[in-house]
Amino acid sequence: MAPPPSRSVGTRPVGAVTRGTTNPNRLRRMDRWITAVHGSALRRSDDPLAVDLGYGAAPWTAVELLRRLRTAASAAEVVGIEIEPARVAAAKPYERPGLTFRHGGFEVPPTDRRPVLIRAANVLRQYDEAEVAAVWHRLRARLAPGGLLVEGTCDEIGRRHVWVALDPAGPRTVTFATRLGSLGRPSDLAERLPKALIHRNVPGEPVHAFLRDFDRAWAAAAPYAPLGARQRWITAVRSISVDWPLADDVRRWRQGEVTVDWAALAPRPGT
């Protein structure tokens, strides 16, 4: 399956130029999760290459990704890929051993190396939901065996973030991550759902039911609020774990995260 032809002409990079909005430290929650759950795969790899796809108007996210990945795998390398040539030119002065920048799009410029990780943050918001599956397919096809695609959305300063993790076979999990002190209720994260889910936050869809149950558990955990937002979050997550298949444990919950099996939140077919 290929992305719609309107997104690509001839040999031009596949995709459309994004707004390019970026801020230092914006993707710290996603990066922290990647190093925690995927660091061992990076360490095992003979070629621990990662791609920061659509890094935006400034190269900060790629620079930070390299630094964070190397805390888990000292040999990690990062290639920042942007569809806008001027952004690539502006990033070139930041190149260093292990960090390079290239012009490209969803095709992930072909080389003799396949990345162990592709991170695509805030790049699909402007696309139609119907286009997401094809983009996911194209990106997964570029992964090395055992590789990981992380695609999601966050706010401008990285307080709220939701992402889908996919392996070469397909989507596996959805992670909700937040700065707990800024959270009114878990469904505040709905505005940061990735494109595959954001239009599914309606009655009858699993993601809507999950956020509804999470809000109820959060409200029931209000007596823990005097102990801090973290204890309230942990209590609420433990409560929903009875009915929802979570893919993590309290070590991640303490970070203001919860990860759910994709199958439990996937859009209902035919809707």
| pLDDT score, position 12 | 80
Question: What pLDDT score does 190 carry?
Answer: 98
Centre a 10 Å sphere on the Cβ of residue 212 and count the other Cβ atoms it contains: 14
Strands (E), the chain: 49-53, 77-82, 99-103, 117-121, 148-154, 160-167, 170-178, 257-261
Instruction: Kindly calculate the radius of gyration of the chain based on its CA atoms and give it in whole angstroms.
Output: 18
Instruction: Give the pLDDT confidence score for residue 20 in this predicted structure.
Output: 61
pLDDT digits (tens, 9 = 90+) for 8-46: 444 688 877 776 677 789 999 999 999 999 999 999 999
Phi, psi dihedrals of residue 258, rounded to the nearest 5°: -150, 135
Q: Which residues of the chain are under the pLDDT cut of 70?
A: 1-11, 19-20, 110, 271
**pTM of the predicted model as reported, rounded to 2 decimal places:** 0.93
Domains recognised in the chain with CATH numbers: 5-179+258-264 (3.40.50.150)
CA distance readout (Å), 237 to 52, 200, 266: 30, 22, 19
| Secondary structure (DSSP) of 231-253 | HHHHHHHHHHTTTS-BS--HHHH
- Gap between the Cα atoms of 153 and 258, Å rounded: 15
- pLDDT per residue as tens digits for the range 222-262: 999 999 999 999 999 999 999 999 999 999 999 999 999 99
Name the packing angle between helices 229-240 and 206-220 (round to 10°): 130
Bridge pairing between strands 160-167 and 49-53: unpaired
pLDDT at 19: 67
Q: Rounded to an integer, what distance in angstroms lies between the CA atom of residue 124 and that of residue 152?
A: 8
Cβ atoms of 210 and 244 closer than 8 Å? yes
Task: State the maximum Cα–Cα separation within the chain, in Å, rounded to a whole number.
Answer: 60
pLDDT at 5: 35
